[in-house]
């Protein structure tokens, strides 16, 4: 593909050049019905707002003196339509209960035995796991065997 990717103006500095190549998903619902992000895993429709940043501005979005994104794309980024961030008022995010990979990671990072009885739930961090091995607990934890 010889065609250059053109994403329009940077959503921070508003420059338009070949360094505008970083697509950022935002946790706000877009005001346009096209060009947004979504998720097949949790059934989230493609209505999430996105921003595009140049390389220089991307580097400025982290750290102690992080610069905030000023605009979001309205529609597809290459259409070069932008909207101020404060116009996006509705939150938009994953349904984490439908993301088993995240639940598994929470289990692994929360595992611990707080009172020495060998039964601490890694999913809920309950001090005493009373559901292990029962039909109430569908997680594969070390205590469900």
Give the whole-number percent of the chain exceeding pLDDT 90: 50
Is residue 109 in a domain? yes
For residue 93, pLDDT over 70 is answered with yes
Q: Are residues 80 and 118 in the same domain?
A: no
Q: What is the pLDDT of residue 128?
A: 52
Q: Are residues 76 and 129 in the same domain?
A: no
**Residues 17-44: pLDDT tens digits?**
999 999 999 999 999 988 789 998 888 8
Q: What is the pLDDT of residue 72?
A: 97
Q: Is the CB of residue 108 less than 8 Å from the CB of residue 122? A: yes
Query: At a CB cut-off of 8 Å and minimum separation 6, what does 58 contact?
Result: 22
pLDDT class for 84, splitting at 50, 70, 90?
very high
Burial 33-64 (b: 16+ CB within 10 A, else e): eebbbebeeeebeebbbbbbbbeebbeeeeee
Q: Is the CB of residue 49 less than 8 Å from the CB of residue 6? A: no
pLDDT class for 96, splitting at 50, 70, 90?
confident
At residue 87, the 3 state secondary structure works out as helix
Question: What is the count of structural domains for the chain?
Answer: 2
Q: Are residues 70 and 114 in the same domain?
A: no
Range of the domain at 67: 20-87
Is residue 75 in a domain? yes
Q: Are residues 80 and 111 in the same domain?
A: no
Q: Are residues 76 and 133 in the same domain?
A: no
pTM: 0.67
pLDDT class for 120, splitting at 50, 70, 90?
low
Quote the Cα angle for 91-49-32, to 5°.
105
**Residues 51-77: pLDDT tens digits?**
999 999 999 988 888 899 999 999 999
At residue 109, the 3 state secondary structure works out as helix
């Amino acid at each position: 593909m010889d065609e250059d990717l053109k994403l329009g103006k940077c959503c921070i500095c508003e420059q338009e050049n070949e360094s505008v190549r970083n697509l950022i998903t935002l946790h706000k619902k877009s005001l346009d019905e096209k060009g947004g992000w979504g998720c097949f895993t949790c059934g989230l429709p493609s209505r999430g707002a996105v921003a595009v940043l140049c390389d220089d501005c991307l580097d400025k979005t982290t750290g102690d003196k992080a610069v905030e994104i000023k605009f979001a794309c309205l529609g597809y980024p290459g259409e070069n339509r932008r909207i101020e961030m404060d116009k996006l008022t509705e939150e938009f995010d994953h349904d984490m209960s439908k993301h088993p990979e995240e639940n598994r990671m929470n289990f692994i990072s929360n595992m611990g035995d707080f009172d020495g009885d060998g039964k601490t739930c890694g999913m809920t961090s309950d001090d005493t796991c009373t559901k292990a091995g029962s039909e109430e607990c569908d997680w594969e934890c070390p205590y469900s065997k």
